[in-house]
Amino acid sequence: MHLTPRWRTFRKGFTGSAILAVIAVIVPGTAAVSNAAAGNTYYVAPNGNDSAAGTQAAPWASIARAQAVATAGDTVYFRGGTYAYTRATTACSSRTARVDAITLNKSGASGNPIRYWAHPGEKPIFTFSAMRDDCRIKGFNVTGSHLHLKGLEVTGAPQNNNLNAESWGIWISGSNNTFELLNTHHHMGTGLFINGGGGNLVLNTDSHDNYDLRSSDGPGENADGFGAHYTPAGRPANVFRGSRAWWNADDGYDLISTYSPVIIENSWAWRNGYVPGTTTPSGNGAGFKVGGFGADYDAGAVKHTVRFSVALLNKSQGFYSNHHPVANDYFNNTGYGNHPNFDMRGINSSGASVGRGNLRNNIAYNGTATANMTGTSASHNSWNLGLPLSDAQFQSVSTSGWDAPRQADGSLPVLPNLRLAANSTLIDKGTNVGLPYQGSAPDLGAFEQSGGTPPPVRYEAETAPAVCQGTIDTNQAGFSGTGFCNGNAAVGAYAQFTVNATTAGTTTLGIRFANGASSGAARPANLVVNGSTVAVVSFESTGAWTAWTTKTLATSLNAGSNTVRLEPTTAAGLPNIDYLTL
């Protein structure tokens, strides 16, 4: 059994080291056609013909035909309407076999993904509810890498017998893919399931109303909103950002049995663990189930991170360590009305149950606050500080509206729910964990008090769609995220970011770097924006590879998606690059 990006607004400006650790990431909503990168453009429509030219006037009918033609850097637009599937690509070899309705096994390239996007302003719906294959069904089976799926609705993957645990809306074993603005729902199993792939970004995506009525484990035991399982050690982190999971019969997010890190940020989970739309109990019912290997100790366990996220009204735990052998990080989260809100049950090498978790700046309100905390590292949380909690601490404690439409850029709706009131005593009561804050200290919970100007947007060098033509390393302390880009003396090394500008014009970039070269020499690099060199940037010595600093510079960007690349101009290569802010 398996961030809006978080706007952290500023009353008194950045404090301490906060300017070096901005966490929000903004990605546009359905982009205009002109925002796609250079490459061929193709079209698919429900009334198309696979013998046609694949143009806007003569679209193809199927994603399979588009995949056969598209190569790295190309974009395939899907016109609005329903794409209904009735049979898998292959026959079931047994009643417990796995088959695909759609197989995406052709990869793009680093920095040049193949894009499968909704046509601007339209809603393509891929439905599998009419499939009658008598075995396990994957709606989308994504084995390719460097792909970008955006704006698609995916629904109805069925279970047609009760010999299997589940089917899946979207199954992902490829790596370095982006899944953006997807709406995956009403599957007899998990909505989006990562199994083996690394470096995938699930961005501003919803998964809801999944219920495995027919299941070998019993109804409702395996229908999660999102899953990330079985990724081998050493692969880059899979990231869930700005995503929502609700009315899933089992868990909202489930991270069992994975040997590479997972980061969940700016995400919400509510009313999981019930038959969708009812109060009838069903599966496990955790909002965020963060790790675990059954109830066994596994020495290969790695740390996962959940931050700036909300769990409310789930049947069981809001944030649950699920017998995980190592301490996960839980920073700036809000649990409301869960049972309990934070359950840190871990396991030690002797198989004994112990508390496992690093908890800072969290709020637990309504319902049981915590469980299994002995052995954890927990401070500056609402239950540690002795502060009185009441509805008056918040702008609203409404439990409705969490599924409201997203903002125009695809980010989460801005609600008053569980945001701190202007006079809340939870403001400035947190501790600095290297993430952005305002005032004298971070506020508690998932949201800062509203008001002010949004902070810069941060893009990590190790997280797709960023490209490091070098190595992703972790051997120099002080970096953020899960690593940094090392282009030191690498032939052809570069660091490339794909960033979004809300409007065209001049903007300020911040590049966090470290240059500890023993020579003390600067490392210059060309700043290449959208394929054109616009400046030469000198990255001076910082004195040590663990001494990180930020260089700011102004440049002009287009509205929408832009590529920003740093190319070294000497054989010494780049400094170590941690992230870029915009």
Block residue for tokens 């049981």: 368
Give the pLDDT confidence score for residue 477 in this predicted structure.
82
**Domain 458-581 in CATH 3.40.50.1260:** no
Residue range 458-465: average pLDDT? 87
Residue pLDDT, tens place only, 323-378: 999 999 999 999 999 999 999 999 999 999 999 999 999 999 999 999 999 999 99
What contacts 343, CB < 8 A, 6 or more positions away?
A: 317, 319, 320, 321, 370, 371, 372
Please state whether the predicted TM-score (pTM) of the whole model is above 0.85. no
CA dist 335 and 333 (Å) reads: 7
Q: For the chain, which residues make up each domain, given as ranges?
A: 458-581
Spatial contact of 121 and 32, defined as CB atoms under 8 Å apart: no
pLDDT value at residue 518: 82
> 9 falls in which pLDDT band (50, 70, 90)?
very low
Q: Which of 138-152, 342-356, 488-502 has the lowest mean pLDDT?
A: 488-502
At residue 13, the pLDDT reads 35
* Residues involved in catalysis: 289
Q: What mean pLDDT is reported for the chain?
A: 90
Amino acid at 370: T
Give pLDDT, residue 8. Answer: 34
d(CA 147, CA 465): 10
Closest CA to 435 of 425, 426, 445: 445
- Residue 393: phi and psi, rounded to 5, are -70, -15
> What percent of the chain has a predicted confidence (pLDDT) above 90?
70
Q: What is the spatial distance between Cα 323 and Cα 353, in angstroms, rounded to a whole number? A: 7
At 535-546, the pLDDT tens digits run 888 888 887 888
Q: What is the DSSP string of 236-290?
A: PPEEEES-EEES-SS-SEE-TT-SS-EEEES-EEES-SBSTTSS-B-S---SEE-
Residue 226 three-state SS = strand
For residue 570, the model assigns a pLDDT of 87
Cα end-to-end distance, the chain, whole Å: 40
Q: Which residue has the higher pLDDT, 514 or 66?
A: 66
DSSP string over 480-539: -TT-EEEEET-TT-EEEEEEEESSSEEEEEEEEEE---TT---EEEEEEETTEEEEEEEE
d(CA 101, CA 170): 10
